[in-house]
Chains A and B, each alone.
Chain A
Protein backbone atom coordinates (compact mmCIF):
# COMPACT_ATOMS: atom_id res chain seq x y z
CA UNK A 1 0.00 0.00 0.00
CA UNK A 2 2.79 2.42 0.89
CA UNK A 3 4.23 2.24 -2.63
CA UNK A 4 0.91 3.50 -3.94
CA UNK A 5 1.22 6.57 -1.80
CA UNK A 6 4.73 7.23 -3.05
CA UNK A 7 3.39 7.05 -6.58
CA UNK A 8 0.47 9.33 -5.85
CA UNK A 9 2.42 12.52 -5.25
CA UNK A 10 4.34 12.72 -8.55
CA UNK A 11 1.13 11.64 -10.29
CA UNK A 12 -0.61 14.64 -8.77
CA UNK A 13 2.18 16.88 -10.04
CA UNK A 14 1.34 15.60 -13.52
CA UNK A 15 -2.05 17.27 -13.19
CA UNK A 16 -0.61 20.80 -13.07
CA UNK A 17 -0.01 21.40 -16.78
CA UNK A 18 -3.31 19.95 -18.13
CA UNK A 19 -5.19 21.56 -15.22
CA UNK A 20 -3.87 25.01 -16.11
CA UNK A 21 -4.48 24.43 -19.83
CA UNK A 22 -8.12 23.45 -19.32
CA UNK A 23 -8.65 26.29 -16.87
CA UNK A 24 -7.27 28.81 -19.34
CA UNK A 25 -8.82 27.47 -22.55
CA UNK A 26 -12.00 25.81 -21.35
CA UNK A 27 -13.29 27.43 -18.17
CA UNK A 28 -12.06 31.02 -18.50
CA UNK A 29 -13.55 31.41 -22.03
CA UNK A 30 -17.02 30.77 -20.55
CA UNK A 31 -16.43 33.84 -18.41
CA UNK A 32 -15.93 35.83 -21.59
CA UNK A 33 -19.10 34.38 -23.11
CA UNK A 34 -21.04 35.44 -20.03
CA UNK A 35 -19.47 38.87 -20.03
CA UNK A 36 -20.16 39.57 -23.67
CA UNK A 37 -23.68 38.21 -23.44
CA UNK A 38 -24.30 41.03 -20.97
CA UNK A 39 -22.80 43.75 -23.10
CA UNK A 40 -24.45 45.76 -25.83
CA UNK A 41 -24.10 45.37 -29.54
CA UNK A 42 -21.95 47.95 -31.25
CA UNK A 43 -20.98 48.55 -34.83
CA UNK A 44 -17.29 48.19 -34.20
CA UNK A 45 -14.47 45.67 -34.30
CA UNK A 46 -14.95 43.61 -32.17
CA UNK A 47 -18.68 44.29 -32.42
CA UNK A 48 -19.60 44.84 -28.79
CA UNK A 49 -19.25 47.53 -26.14
CA UNK A 50 -16.57 46.42 -23.70
CA UNK A 51 -17.59 45.80 -20.11
CA UNK A 52 -15.26 45.23 -17.15
CA UNK A 53 -12.11 46.81 -18.43
CA UNK A 54 -10.06 46.15 -15.31
CA UNK A 55 -7.23 48.46 -16.36
CA UNK A 56 -9.38 51.53 -15.80
CA UNK A 57 -9.63 51.26 -12.03
CA UNK A 58 -12.49 50.99 -9.62
CA UNK A 59 -14.59 53.88 -10.90
CA UNK A 60 -14.64 52.30 -14.33
CA UNK A 61 -15.78 48.98 -12.87
CA UNK A 62 -18.67 50.71 -11.17
CA UNK A 63 -19.64 52.41 -14.41
CA UNK A 64 -19.32 49.10 -16.23
CA UNK A 65 -21.55 47.31 -13.74
CA UNK A 66 -24.18 49.94 -14.35
CA UNK A 67 -23.85 49.41 -18.09
CA UNK A 68 -24.50 45.66 -17.88
CA UNK A 69 -27.71 44.79 -19.58
CA UNK A 70 -29.97 41.82 -19.89
CA UNK A 71 -31.30 43.13 -23.21
CA UNK A 72 -29.83 40.22 -25.15
CA UNK A 73 -31.58 37.70 -22.91
CA UNK A 74 -34.84 39.63 -23.12
CA UNK A 75 -34.51 39.47 -26.90
CA UNK A 76 -34.00 35.71 -26.77
CA UNK A 77 -37.15 35.19 -24.74
CA UNK A 78 -39.34 37.60 -26.64
CA UNK A 79 -38.34 36.78 -30.21
CA UNK A 80 -40.07 33.73 -31.67
CA UNK A 81 -37.05 32.93 -33.81
CA UNK A 82 -34.97 32.00 -30.77
CA UNK A 83 -37.68 30.30 -28.77
CA UNK A 84 -38.60 28.16 -31.78
CA UNK A 85 -34.94 27.33 -32.41
CA UNK A 86 -34.49 26.07 -28.86
CA UNK A 87 -37.69 24.04 -29.04
CA UNK A 88 -36.77 22.57 -32.40
CA UNK A 89 -33.29 21.63 -31.15
CA UNK A 90 -34.72 19.79 -28.16
CA UNK A 91 -37.33 18.00 -30.29
CA UNK A 92 -34.82 17.01 -32.97
CA UNK A 93 -32.39 15.76 -30.33
CA UNK A 94 -35.09 13.77 -28.52
CA UNK A 95 -36.46 12.19 -31.71
CA UNK A 96 -33.02 11.34 -33.12
CA UNK A 97 -31.84 9.90 -29.81
CA UNK A 98 -34.91 7.63 -29.69
CA UNK A 99 -34.29 6.42 -33.25
CA UNK A 100 -30.61 5.90 -32.41
CA UNK A 101 -31.54 3.77 -29.41
CA UNK A 102 -33.98 1.69 -31.46
CA UNK A 103 -31.35 1.01 -34.14
CA UNK A 104 -28.28 0.92 -31.92
CA UNK A 105 -29.59 -1.54 -29.35
CA UNK A 106 -30.16 -4.50 -31.72
CA UNK A 107 -26.78 -3.89 -33.37
CA UNK A 108 -24.96 -3.73 -30.02
CA UNK A 109 -26.89 -6.81 -28.85
CA UNK A 110 -25.86 -8.70 -31.99
CA UNK A 111 -22.24 -7.65 -31.44
CA UNK A 112 -22.22 -8.90 -27.86
CA UNK A 113 -23.54 -12.29 -29.05
CA UNK A 114 -20.76 -12.79 -31.60
CA UNK A 115 -17.94 -15.26 -30.91
CA UNK A 116 -15.07 -13.54 -29.06
CA UNK A 117 -12.83 -13.30 -32.14
CA UNK A 118 -15.49 -11.58 -34.17
CA UNK A 119 -16.43 -9.14 -31.43
CA UNK A 120 -13.09 -7.37 -31.86
CA UNK A 121 -13.65 -7.13 -35.62
CA UNK A 122 -17.20 -5.82 -35.19
CA UNK A 123 -15.99 -3.29 -32.64
CA UNK A 124 -13.35 -2.09 -35.12
CA UNK A 125 -16.01 -1.82 -37.85
CA UNK A 126 -18.13 0.41 -35.61
CA UNK A 127 -15.23 2.60 -34.49
CA UNK A 128 -13.69 3.25 -37.93
CA UNK A 129 -16.48 5.55 -39.21
CA UNK A 130 -16.01 7.59 -36.02
CA UNK A 131 -12.47 8.30 -37.24
CA UNK A 132 -13.67 9.35 -40.67
CA UNK A 133 -14.64 12.96 -41.11
CA UNK A 134 -18.14 13.98 -40.05
CA UNK A 135 -18.28 16.42 -42.93
CA UNK A 136 -17.25 13.81 -45.47
CA UNK A 137 -19.87 11.37 -44.27
CA UNK A 138 -22.60 14.00 -44.55
CA UNK A 139 -21.30 14.90 -47.99
CA UNK A 140 -21.52 11.23 -48.95
CA UNK A 141 -25.23 11.36 -48.16
CA UNK A 142 -25.72 14.50 -50.25
CA UNK A 143 -24.32 12.48 -53.17
CA UNK A 144 -26.92 9.79 -52.60
CA UNK A 145 -29.92 11.97 -51.74
CA UNK A 146 -29.64 14.66 -54.40
CA UNK A 147 -32.28 15.07 -57.11
CA UNK A 148 -30.64 12.72 -59.62
CA UNK A 149 -28.76 10.80 -56.94
CA UNK A 150 -28.48 7.07 -56.40
CA UNK A 151 -31.51 6.74 -54.15
CA UNK A 152 -33.91 8.32 -56.63
CA UNK A 153 -32.39 6.26 -59.45
CA UNK A 154 -32.98 3.04 -57.55
CA UNK A 155 -36.51 4.03 -56.58
CA UNK A 156 -37.31 4.96 -60.19
CA UNK A 157 -35.77 1.75 -61.55
CA UNK A 158 -37.86 -0.31 -59.15
CA UNK A 159 -40.95 1.69 -60.15
CA UNK A 160 -41.56 2.54 -56.52
CA UNK A 161 -41.98 6.20 -57.44
CA UNK A 162 -42.97 7.78 -60.75
CA UNK A 163 -40.97 11.00 -60.36
CA UNK A 164 -37.80 11.83 -58.42
CA UNK A 165 -38.51 12.54 -54.76
CA UNK A 166 -37.08 15.64 -53.08
CA UNK A 167 -34.88 14.30 -50.28
CA UNK A 168 -32.39 17.09 -49.67
CA UNK A 169 -33.45 20.08 -47.56
CA UNK A 170 -36.02 18.01 -45.69
CA UNK A 171 -36.27 16.92 -42.09
CA UNK A 172 -36.05 13.25 -43.09
CA UNK A 173 -32.65 13.87 -44.67
CA UNK A 174 -31.53 15.65 -41.50
CA UNK A 175 -32.68 12.80 -39.23
CA UNK A 176 -30.98 10.31 -41.51
CA UNK A 177 -27.74 12.32 -41.34
CA UNK A 178 -27.87 12.65 -37.55
CA UNK A 179 -28.64 8.97 -36.99
CA UNK A 180 -25.90 8.00 -39.42
CA UNK A 181 -23.29 10.25 -37.77
CA UNK A 182 -24.08 9.45 -34.16
CA UNK A 183 -24.73 5.69 -34.43
CA UNK A 184 -21.25 4.69 -33.20
CA UNK A 185 -21.72 6.90 -30.11
CA UNK A 186 -24.86 4.92 -29.28
CA UNK A 187 -23.56 1.45 -30.14
CA UNK A 188 -20.26 1.56 -28.24
CA UNK A 189 -21.51 2.25 -24.68
CA UNK A 190 -24.41 -0.20 -25.21
CA UNK A 191 -22.02 -2.88 -26.43
CA UNK A 192 -19.67 -2.22 -23.50
CA UNK A 193 -22.39 -3.02 -20.93
CA UNK A 194 -23.97 -5.88 -22.91
CA UNK A 195 -20.62 -7.63 -23.46
CA UNK A 196 -19.81 -7.56 -19.75
CA UNK A 197 -23.05 -9.32 -18.81
CA UNK A 198 -22.83 -12.82 -17.34
CA UNK A 199 -24.41 -15.39 -19.72
CA UNK A 200 -25.20 -17.53 -16.69
CA UNK A 201 -27.81 -14.96 -15.65
CA UNK A 202 -29.82 -15.79 -18.77
CA UNK A 203 -29.38 -19.50 -18.14
CA UNK A 204 -30.67 -19.00 -14.63
CA UNK A 205 -33.67 -17.10 -15.99
CA UNK A 206 -34.35 -19.92 -18.46
CA UNK A 207 -34.00 -22.55 -15.73
CA UNK A 208 -36.55 -20.64 -13.71
CA UNK A 209 -38.94 -20.87 -16.63
CA UNK A 210 -38.81 -17.55 -18.45
CA UNK A 211 -39.02 -17.44 -22.22
CA UNK A 212 -36.15 -15.71 -24.10
CA UNK A 213 -38.34 -12.66 -24.49
CA UNK A 214 -39.15 -12.49 -20.79
CA UNK A 215 -35.50 -13.09 -19.94
CA UNK A 216 -34.56 -10.15 -22.15
CA UNK A 217 -37.00 -7.74 -20.56
CA UNK A 218 -36.52 -8.98 -16.99
CA UNK A 219 -32.75 -9.50 -17.00
CA UNK A 220 -30.80 -8.18 -19.98
CA UNK A 221 -32.53 -4.86 -20.50
CA UNK A 222 -32.57 -3.67 -16.87
CA UNK A 223 -28.90 -4.61 -16.52
CA UNK A 224 -28.01 -2.68 -19.68
CA UNK A 225 -29.59 0.57 -18.44
CA UNK A 226 -26.25 2.23 -17.53
CA UNK A 227 -25.16 1.69 -21.14
CA UNK A 228 -28.48 3.06 -22.39
CA UNK A 229 -28.02 6.17 -20.23
CA UNK A 230 -24.46 6.68 -21.46
CA UNK A 231 -25.45 6.28 -25.12
CA UNK A 232 -28.47 8.57 -24.77
CA UNK A 233 -26.48 11.37 -23.11
CA UNK A 234 -23.53 10.95 -25.46
CA UNK A 235 -25.91 11.54 -28.39
CA UNK A 236 -28.51 13.91 -26.97
CA UNK A 237 -26.18 16.64 -25.66
CA UNK A 238 -24.16 17.29 -28.83
CA UNK A 239 -27.19 16.87 -31.12
CA UNK A 240 -28.98 19.75 -29.34
CA UNK A 241 -26.16 22.06 -30.45
CA UNK A 242 -25.59 20.41 -33.85
CA UNK A 243 -24.80 22.78 -36.70
CA UNK A 244 -23.31 21.02 -39.73
CA UNK A 245 -25.93 18.33 -40.28
CA UNK A 246 -29.08 20.51 -40.18
CA UNK A 247 -27.26 23.19 -42.16
CA UNK A 248 -26.38 20.84 -45.02
CA UNK A 249 -29.33 18.45 -45.02
CA UNK A 250 -32.40 20.22 -43.58
CA UNK A 251 -34.44 22.99 -45.17
CA UNK A 252 -33.89 26.58 -44.15
CA UNK A 253 -37.43 27.37 -42.99
CA UNK A 254 -36.84 26.31 -39.40
CA UNK A 255 -33.47 26.42 -37.70
CA UNK A 256 -31.84 24.59 -34.82
CA UNK A 257 -30.19 26.75 -32.17
CA UNK A 258 -26.70 25.88 -33.40
CA UNK A 259 -27.62 27.35 -36.78
CA UNK A 260 -29.23 30.44 -35.24
CA UNK A 261 -26.15 31.05 -33.13
CA UNK A 262 -23.91 30.62 -36.20
CA UNK A 263 -26.10 33.02 -38.19
CA UNK A 264 -26.06 35.68 -35.47
CA UNK A 265 -22.34 35.37 -35.18
CA UNK A 266 -21.08 35.08 -38.75
CA UNK A 267 -23.83 36.73 -40.80
CA UNK A 268 -25.41 39.33 -38.51
CA UNK A 269 -22.16 39.91 -36.59
CA UNK A 270 -24.23 40.26 -33.43
CA UNK A 271 -21.77 38.76 -30.98
CA UNK A 272 -23.60 39.68 -27.76
CA UNK A 273 -26.78 37.94 -28.92
CA UNK A 274 -24.79 34.91 -30.09
CA UNK A 275 -23.08 34.78 -26.68
CA UNK A 276 -26.42 35.05 -24.90
CA UNK A 277 -27.79 32.24 -27.08
CA UNK A 278 -24.79 30.12 -26.07
CA UNK A 279 -25.38 30.85 -22.36
CA UNK A 280 -29.02 29.76 -22.60
CA UNK A 281 -28.05 26.64 -24.57
CA UNK A 282 -25.55 25.78 -21.86
CA UNK A 283 -28.21 26.28 -19.16
CA UNK A 284 -30.53 23.90 -21.05
CA UNK A 285 -27.76 21.31 -21.08
CA UNK A 286 -26.60 21.68 -17.47
CA UNK A 287 -28.70 18.82 -16.13
CA UNK A 288 -27.78 16.28 -18.84
CA UNK A 289 -24.15 17.41 -18.59
CA UNK A 290 -24.05 16.76 -14.83
CA UNK A 291 -25.64 13.33 -15.32
CA UNK A 292 -23.15 12.53 -18.05
CA UNK A 293 -20.21 13.70 -15.92
CA UNK A 294 -21.27 11.46 -13.03
CA UNK A 295 -21.72 8.45 -15.28
CA UNK A 296 -18.39 8.97 -17.03
CA UNK A 297 -16.52 9.41 -13.76
CA UNK A 298 -18.11 6.34 -12.22
CA UNK A 299 -17.30 4.20 -15.28
CA UNK A 300 -13.68 5.29 -15.57
CA UNK A 301 -13.00 5.09 -11.88
CA UNK A 302 -14.65 1.70 -11.52
CA UNK A 303 -12.03 0.38 -13.92
CA UNK A 304 -9.34 0.98 -11.30
Chain B
Protein backbone atom coordinates (compact mmCIF):
# COMPACT_ATOMS: atom_id res chain seq x y z
CA UNK B 1 0.00 0.00 0.00
CA UNK B 2 1.59 3.25 -1.11
CA UNK B 3 0.91 6.47 0.69
CA UNK B 4 -0.66 7.88 -2.46
CA UNK B 5 -3.49 5.36 -2.38
CA UNK B 6 -4.48 6.61 1.04
CA UNK B 7 -6.00 9.79 -0.24
CA UNK B 8 -7.40 8.59 -3.52
CA UNK B 9 -11.01 7.79 -4.13
CA UNK B 10 -11.57 4.14 -3.21
CA UNK B 11 -14.44 2.13 -4.72
CA UNK B 12 -16.23 2.38 -1.38
CA UNK B 13 -15.92 6.18 -1.46
CA UNK B 14 -17.16 6.35 -5.04
CA UNK B 15 -20.17 4.13 -4.37
CA UNK B 16 -21.21 5.98 -1.23
CA UNK B 17 -20.90 9.28 -3.08
CA UNK B 18 -23.01 8.04 -6.01
CA UNK B 19 -25.65 6.57 -3.70
CA UNK B 20 -25.80 9.79 -1.69
CA UNK B 21 -26.38 11.90 -4.78
CA UNK B 22 -28.96 9.46 -6.19
CA UNK B 23 -30.81 9.49 -2.88
CA UNK B 24 -30.98 13.29 -2.97
CA UNK B 25 -32.23 13.56 -6.55
CA UNK B 26 -34.30 10.51 -7.44
CA UNK B 27 -37.51 11.53 -5.63
CA UNK B 28 -37.48 14.95 -7.30
CA UNK B 29 -36.92 13.40 -10.75
CA UNK B 30 -39.82 11.03 -10.19
CA UNK B 31 -42.06 13.90 -9.08
CA UNK B 32 -41.23 15.89 -12.21
CA UNK B 33 -41.87 12.91 -14.51
CA UNK B 34 -45.25 12.20 -12.93
CA UNK B 35 -46.33 15.82 -13.31
CA UNK B 36 -46.52 15.14 -17.07
CA UNK B 37 -48.68 12.07 -16.54
CA UNK B 38 -52.01 12.17 -18.37
CA UNK B 39 -53.72 9.81 -15.95
CA UNK B 40 -55.71 11.12 -12.98
CA UNK B 41 -54.37 8.25 -10.90
CA UNK B 42 -50.98 9.51 -9.95
CA UNK B 43 -49.39 6.08 -10.04
CA UNK B 44 -50.73 4.83 -13.35
CA UNK B 45 -48.82 6.04 -16.36
CA UNK B 46 -51.27 7.37 -18.96
CA UNK B 47 -48.86 8.96 -21.42
CA UNK B 48 -47.28 12.42 -21.56
CA UNK B 49 -49.58 15.40 -21.10
CA UNK B 50 -49.63 19.03 -19.95
CA UNK B 51 -53.15 18.65 -18.57
CA UNK B 52 -52.26 19.33 -14.92
CA UNK B 53 -50.37 22.47 -15.83
CA UNK B 54 -53.44 23.93 -17.53
CA UNK B 55 -55.48 22.86 -14.51
CA UNK B 56 -53.13 24.90 -12.32
CA UNK B 57 -53.37 27.97 -14.55
CA UNK B 58 -57.15 27.86 -14.18
CA UNK B 59 -57.03 27.50 -10.39
CA UNK B 60 -57.55 31.09 -9.22
CA UNK B 61 -56.86 30.45 -5.53
CA UNK B 62 -53.58 28.69 -6.34
CA UNK B 63 -52.48 31.46 -8.70
CA UNK B 64 -53.26 34.09 -6.09
CA UNK B 65 -51.28 32.18 -3.46
CA UNK B 66 -48.35 31.84 -5.89
CA UNK B 67 -48.42 35.58 -6.59
CA UNK B 68 -48.52 36.35 -2.86
CA UNK B 69 -45.53 34.05 -2.25
CA UNK B 70 -43.62 35.61 -5.11
CA UNK B 71 -44.15 39.15 -3.80
CA UNK B 72 -43.28 38.22 -0.22
CA UNK B 73 -40.12 36.44 -1.41
CA UNK B 74 -38.98 39.34 -3.61
CA UNK B 75 -39.57 42.06 -1.00
CA UNK B 76 -38.28 40.13 2.02
CA UNK B 77 -35.18 38.92 0.15
CA UNK B 78 -34.33 42.49 -0.82
CA UNK B 79 -34.66 43.89 2.71
CA UNK B 80 -32.84 40.85 4.11
CA UNK B 81 -29.96 41.30 1.66
CA UNK B 82 -29.50 44.93 2.67
CA UNK B 83 -29.64 44.24 6.42
CA UNK B 84 -27.69 40.98 6.19
CA UNK B 85 -24.87 42.60 4.24
CA UNK B 86 -24.67 45.45 6.78
CA UNK B 87 -24.56 42.89 9.58
CA UNK B 88 -21.80 40.91 7.83
CA UNK B 89 -19.72 44.07 7.30
CA UNK B 90 -20.13 45.04 10.95
CA UNK B 91 -19.13 41.57 12.18
CA UNK B 92 -16.11 41.08 9.95
CA UNK B 93 -14.76 44.66 9.82
CA UNK B 94 -16.12 46.30 12.97
CA UNK B 95 -13.56 44.80 15.38
CA UNK B 96 -14.98 44.90 18.91
CA UNK B 97 -18.11 46.84 19.69
CA UNK B 98 -20.68 46.95 22.44
CA UNK B 99 -23.32 44.26 22.11
CA UNK B 100 -21.29 42.30 19.58
CA UNK B 101 -21.80 38.96 21.32
CA UNK B 102 -25.54 39.49 21.59
CA UNK B 103 -25.58 40.64 17.96
CA UNK B 104 -23.84 37.58 16.58
CA UNK B 105 -25.93 35.35 18.83
CA UNK B 106 -29.13 36.89 17.45
CA UNK B 107 -27.83 36.35 13.92
CA UNK B 108 -26.79 32.71 14.30
CA UNK B 109 -29.64 31.43 16.47
CA UNK B 110 -32.43 31.76 13.87
CA UNK B 111 -30.44 29.51 11.51
CA UNK B 112 -31.24 26.49 13.67
CA UNK B 113 -34.15 27.71 15.80
CA UNK B 114 -37.18 25.44 15.30
CA UNK B 115 -39.56 27.28 13.02
CA UNK B 116 -42.54 26.73 15.32
CA UNK B 117 -40.84 28.88 17.97
CA UNK B 118 -39.87 31.68 15.58
CA UNK B 119 -43.34 31.69 14.03
CA UNK B 120 -45.22 31.65 17.33
CA UNK B 121 -43.09 34.40 18.90
CA UNK B 122 -43.49 36.72 15.90
CA UNK B 123 -47.22 36.14 15.82
CA UNK B 124 -47.54 37.03 19.51
CA UNK B 125 -45.62 40.24 18.82
CA UNK B 126 -47.88 41.15 15.90
CA UNK B 127 -51.00 40.46 17.97
CA UNK B 128 -49.64 42.49 20.89
CA UNK B 129 -49.11 45.57 18.72
CA UNK B 130 -52.38 44.98 16.89
CA UNK B 131 -50.77 44.72 13.46
CA UNK B 132 -53.05 43.65 10.66
CA UNK B 133 -51.83 40.23 9.58
CA UNK B 134 -51.17 39.60 5.92
CA UNK B 135 -48.52 40.50 3.36
CA UNK B 136 -46.39 42.73 5.59
CA UNK B 137 -46.35 40.51 8.66
CA UNK B 138 -45.22 37.51 6.58
CA UNK B 139 -42.64 39.70 4.82
CA UNK B 140 -41.21 40.94 8.13
CA UNK B 141 -41.08 37.39 9.50
CA UNK B 142 -39.28 36.07 6.41
CA UNK B 143 -36.86 39.01 6.43
CA UNK B 144 -35.93 38.21 10.03
CA UNK B 145 -35.14 34.60 9.19
CA UNK B 146 -33.39 35.08 5.86
CA UNK B 147 -31.21 38.07 6.78
CA UNK B 148 -29.26 35.68 9.02
CA UNK B 149 -28.50 33.40 6.07
CA UNK B 150 -27.43 36.39 3.97
CA UNK B 151 -25.17 37.57 6.82
CA UNK B 152 -23.43 34.18 7.02
CA UNK B 153 -22.92 33.90 3.25
CA UNK B 154 -21.56 37.46 2.92
CA UNK B 155 -19.48 37.22 6.09
CA UNK B 156 -17.64 34.12 4.89
CA UNK B 157 -16.81 35.90 1.62
CA UNK B 158 -15.61 39.01 3.50
CA UNK B 159 -13.45 36.79 5.69
CA UNK B 160 -11.74 35.28 2.66
CA UNK B 161 -11.04 38.69 1.12
CA UNK B 162 -7.53 40.14 0.98
CA UNK B 163 -7.72 43.14 3.28
CA UNK B 164 -4.64 44.77 1.83
CA UNK B 165 -6.81 45.87 -1.13
CA UNK B 166 -8.97 48.01 1.16
CA UNK B 167 -5.87 49.32 2.91
CA UNK B 168 -4.26 50.20 -0.43
CA UNK B 169 -7.38 52.12 -1.46
CA UNK B 170 -7.28 54.11 1.77
CA UNK B 171 -3.54 54.75 1.44
CA UNK B 172 -4.33 56.18 -1.98
CA UNK B 173 -6.67 58.66 -0.36
CA UNK B 174 -10.09 56.98 -0.32
CA UNK B 175 -12.14 57.52 2.80
CA UNK B 176 -13.51 54.26 4.30
CA UNK B 177 -16.90 54.62 2.62
CA UNK B 178 -15.37 55.15 -0.83
CA UNK B 179 -12.92 52.32 -0.26
CA UNK B 180 -15.83 50.07 0.62
CA UNK B 181 -17.93 51.11 -2.38
CA UNK B 182 -15.07 51.06 -4.89
CA UNK B 183 -13.12 48.00 -3.71
CA UNK B 184 -14.96 45.79 -1.22
CA UNK B 185 -18.48 45.94 -2.62
CA UNK B 186 -17.59 44.81 -6.17
CA UNK B 187 -15.57 41.92 -4.71
CA UNK B 188 -18.37 40.67 -2.47
CA UNK B 189 -21.10 41.32 -5.05
CA UNK B 190 -21.35 37.63 -6.08
CA UNK B 191 -21.85 36.65 -2.42
CA UNK B 192 -24.50 39.36 -2.01
CA UNK B 193 -26.29 38.10 -5.13
CA UNK B 194 -26.10 34.51 -3.86
CA UNK B 195 -27.44 35.71 -0.51
CA UNK B 196 -30.42 37.39 -2.18
CA UNK B 197 -31.26 34.26 -4.13
CA UNK B 198 -30.92 32.05 -1.07
CA UNK B 199 -33.22 34.40 0.85
CA UNK B 200 -35.69 34.38 -2.05
CA UNK B 201 -35.89 30.59 -2.25
CA UNK B 202 -36.07 30.17 1.54
CA UNK B 203 -39.00 32.56 1.68
CA UNK B 204 -40.71 30.86 -1.26
CA UNK B 205 -40.32 27.56 0.59
CA UNK B 206 -41.44 28.44 4.09
CA UNK B 207 -44.63 26.91 5.44
CA UNK B 208 -44.45 27.06 9.23
CA UNK B 209 -43.51 30.70 9.86
CA UNK B 210 -45.93 31.90 7.16
CA UNK B 211 -48.77 29.85 8.69
CA UNK B 212 -48.29 31.59 12.03
CA UNK B 213 -47.84 35.11 10.75
CA UNK B 214 -50.33 35.38 7.90
CA UNK B 215 -53.91 36.46 8.24
CA UNK B 216 -57.16 35.13 6.83
CA UNK B 217 -57.43 35.38 3.07
CA UNK B 218 -53.73 35.77 2.38
CA UNK B 219 -52.37 32.23 2.08
CA UNK B 220 -48.96 31.69 0.54
CA UNK B 221 -48.26 28.94 -1.98
CA UNK B 222 -46.74 26.49 0.56
CA UNK B 223 -49.79 26.97 2.82
CA UNK B 224 -52.13 26.05 -0.06
CA UNK B 225 -49.95 23.15 -1.19
CA UNK B 226 -49.80 21.88 2.38
CA UNK B 227 -53.57 21.90 2.82
CA UNK B 228 -53.94 19.99 -0.48
CA UNK B 229 -51.17 17.51 0.33
CA UNK B 230 -52.80 16.65 3.66
CA UNK B 231 -55.75 15.35 1.65
CA UNK B 232 -53.52 13.11 -0.47
CA UNK B 233 -51.56 13.14 -3.68
CA UNK B 234 -53.05 15.15 -6.53
CA UNK B 235 -51.51 15.38 -10.00
CA UNK B 236 -52.06 19.14 -10.06
CA UNK B 237 -49.76 19.47 -7.05
CA UNK B 238 -47.04 17.60 -8.96
CA UNK B 239 -47.36 20.19 -11.73
CA UNK B 240 -47.15 23.13 -9.29
CA UNK B 241 -44.16 21.61 -7.54
CA UNK B 242 -42.43 21.11 -10.90
CA UNK B 243 -43.01 24.78 -11.75
CA UNK B 244 -41.53 25.85 -8.42
CA UNK B 245 -38.53 23.56 -8.97
CA UNK B 246 -38.08 25.03 -12.47
CA UNK B 247 -38.15 28.57 -11.03
CA UNK B 248 -35.59 27.68 -8.38
CA UNK B 249 -33.41 25.91 -10.96
CA UNK B 250 -33.49 29.07 -13.09
CA UNK B 251 -32.46 31.14 -10.07
CA UNK B 252 -29.54 28.78 -9.38
CA UNK B 253 -28.37 28.87 -13.01
CA UNK B 254 -28.48 32.68 -13.02
CA UNK B 255 -26.60 32.74 -9.72
CA UNK B 256 -23.80 30.48 -10.94
CA UNK B 257 -23.56 32.33 -14.27
CA UNK B 258 -23.38 35.63 -12.38
CA UNK B 259 -20.58 34.41 -10.14
CA UNK B 260 -18.69 32.98 -13.14
CA UNK B 261 -19.15 36.27 -14.99
CA UNK B 262 -17.99 38.37 -12.05
CA UNK B 263 -14.97 36.11 -11.57
CA UNK B 264 -14.08 36.57 -15.24
CA UNK B 265 -14.53 40.34 -14.89
CA UNK B 266 -12.30 40.33 -11.83
CA UNK B 267 -9.58 38.43 -13.70
CA UNK B 268 -9.62 40.75 -16.69
CA UNK B 269 -9.53 43.76 -14.39
CA UNK B 270 -6.58 42.43 -12.45
CA UNK B 271 -3.80 43.38 -14.90
CA UNK B 272 -4.98 47.00 -14.99
Contacts and interface: CB of A to CB of B under 8 A. Distances in A.
Interface string B238-259: 1001001100100110001000
A3 interface: yes
B215 interface: no
Contact of A33 (B6, B41, B43, B124): B124
Nearest to B150: A18
B270 interface: no
Contact of A234 (B83, B112, B201): B112
Given A3-B167, A3-B170, A183-B23, A241 B16 contact: no
Interface residues of B, number: 107
Contact of A281 (B117, B208, B230): B117
Contacts of A124: 256
User: Is chain B's binding surface mostly helix, strand, loop or mixed?
Assistant: helix
Interface string A1-16: 0011111111111110
B147 A293 contact: no
Interface string A167-205: 000000000000010011001000000000001001101
Interface string A237-263: 110111110001000000000100110
A146 to B, nearest CB: 6
B9 to A, nearest CB: 4
A17 B106 contact: no
Nearest to B97: A12
User: Is chain A's binding surface mostly helix, strand, loop or mixed?
Assistant: helix
A66 interface: no
Interface stretch (A55-63, A75-83, A131-139, A221-229): A131-139
A126 interface: yes
B42 interface: yes
Contacts of A241: 113-117
Which are the 7 A-B pairs with shortest beta-carbon distances? Answer: A241-B114, A303-B159, A15-B90, A110-B17, A29-B121, A107-B20, A11-B93
Interface of B: 1, 3, 5-10, 12-14, 16-17, 19-21, 23-25, 27-28, 30-31, 34, 41-43, 83-84, 86-87, 89-95, 97, 99, 103-118, 120-122, 124-125, 127-128, 140-141, 143-144, 147, 151-152, 155-156, 159-160, 163, 166-167, 170-171, 176-177, 179-180, 198, 201, 204-205, 207-208, 211-212, 222, 225-226, 229-230, 232-233, 237-238, 241, 244-245, 248, 251-252, 256
